[in-house]
Amino acid sequence: VFSKIFSHEALESYLPKIQLVIKDTLRAWSSDPEPINVYHEAQKLTFRMAIRVLLGFRIPDEELGRLFEVYQQFVENVFSLPVDLPFSGYRRGIRARETLQKGLEKAIQEKLQNTQGKDYADALDILIESGKEHGKELTMQELKDGTLELIFAAYATTASASTSLIMQLLKHPRVLEKLREELRSKGILHNGCICEGSLRLDNISSLHYLDCVIKEVLRLFTPISGGYRTVLQTFELDGFQIPKGWSVMYSIRDTHDTAPVFKDVDVFDPDRFGQGRSEDKDGRFHYLPFGGGVRTCLGKHLAKLFLKALAIELASTSRFELATRTFPKITLVPVVHPVDGLKVKFFGLDSNQNEILTGTDAMLGATV
């Protein structure tokens, strides 16, 4: 059922909505006179994308903001010790989940009652219809659980990768310019504007350098460190016997750091994935930002599409610069992100790629 949510047809229908959410967000970032905390704002962006696009909820902005704060409290306490005492992280997490589920139940009920004016089938629609196809009407609790799982899957890792993408574009302006050149050559970017109707799924898939940039961000800054598998049959590895039933952890980050196919592993180099080198093609499990095997991440195509849409908007309609003297250190827990969140000042651009002055700057410009 969940695989239908991330099918090619579903992604095609999500794309215009994803673009709209990203455009609105970048416009808000550019209108803020102060530098923004990219990681925090990226969390808001991915949460909004999950609510508005994946689930199709029409929640007012003010209520959405409150729901985001509650959701953050839930996420912050997911890994608490299971000690149910007043003021414990566990208790705060349980209360946040209860508040979340009340808000989600209200949104689901409103959605089920208002089916008019829809121009695409979102993930929740697909879940409900798939349940009916299998002769099972999903209960409200099952819908709430599925909804919360989708939000959780789309939230932290995508916000982490989005922040890493922005940081690498700041560090490597030549990469950003090369992205712009590819967009121009494909007829997507013209005179500083994205050509209307040019961003379709097949067009985005044809942007090979953009694909290399996203792959390199995910290689060097994989949001999560690894995953777990259960041993189905006793086997031997490097002289050690691993018994059936044991849990095995595989490390994505260590694999990327030690895989012999990658040259200069610490260097951000999108061209390593280009046609001339194709370092990710030499061997099966050297590159695995989304895991591997039958349990590979179901949402990987949606995540990559979101990152590509964000990169296209950043390259086309924004100018941004680091607001601190040096780039921040990176922490790996709970997902990869800059210690200070990455402070960046965004500037809007007009159709000729000139900065749009706002507030006091605009008044000074007019005076001059």
Whether the per-residue pLDDT at 355 is higher than 60: the answer is no
Domain that holds residue 96: 4-364
H helix and E strand count, the chain: 13, 11
Q: Report DSSP state, residue 268.
A: -
- 8 A C-beta contact, residue 184 and residue 80: no
**Dihedral, 286, 250, 50, 62 alpha carbons, nearest 10:** -120
Give, in degrees to the nearest 5, the angle at Cα 228 between 223 and 232: 155
C-alpha to C-alpha distance for 293 and 304, rounded to whole angstroms: 18
Whether the per-residue pLDDT at 2 is higher than 70: the answer is yes
CATH number of the domain residue 145 falls in: 1.10.630.10
Distances (CA, A) of 27 to 50, 64, 79, 336, 367: 19, 18, 35, 26, 25
Domain total of the chain: 1
| Over residues 99-120, mean pLDDT | 88
- 8 A C-beta contact, residue 8 and residue 333: no
Residues near 16 by Cβ (< 8 Å), separated by ≥ 6? none
Whether the per-residue pLDDT at 349 is higher than 70: the answer is no
C-alpha to C-alpha distance for 368 and 354, rounded to whole angstroms: 17
- 8 A C-beta contact, residue 11 and residue 126: no
Average pLDDT, the chain: 90
For the ranges 28-32, 153-157, 248-252, the lowest mean pLDDT is seen at 153-157
| Over residues 239-268, mean pLDDT | 95
Question: Residue with structure tokens 């749009």?
Answer: 356
| Over residues 112-116, mean pLDDT | 82
Q: Are strands 240-242 and 235-237 parallel, antiparallel or unpaired?
A: antiparallel
- Is 195 annotated to bind a ligand? Reply is no
Whether the per-residue pLDDT at 271 is higher than 90: the answer is yes
Whether the per-residue pLDDT at 360 is higher than 60: the answer is no
Residue 281: the pLDDT is 80
Residue 131: the pLDDT is 81
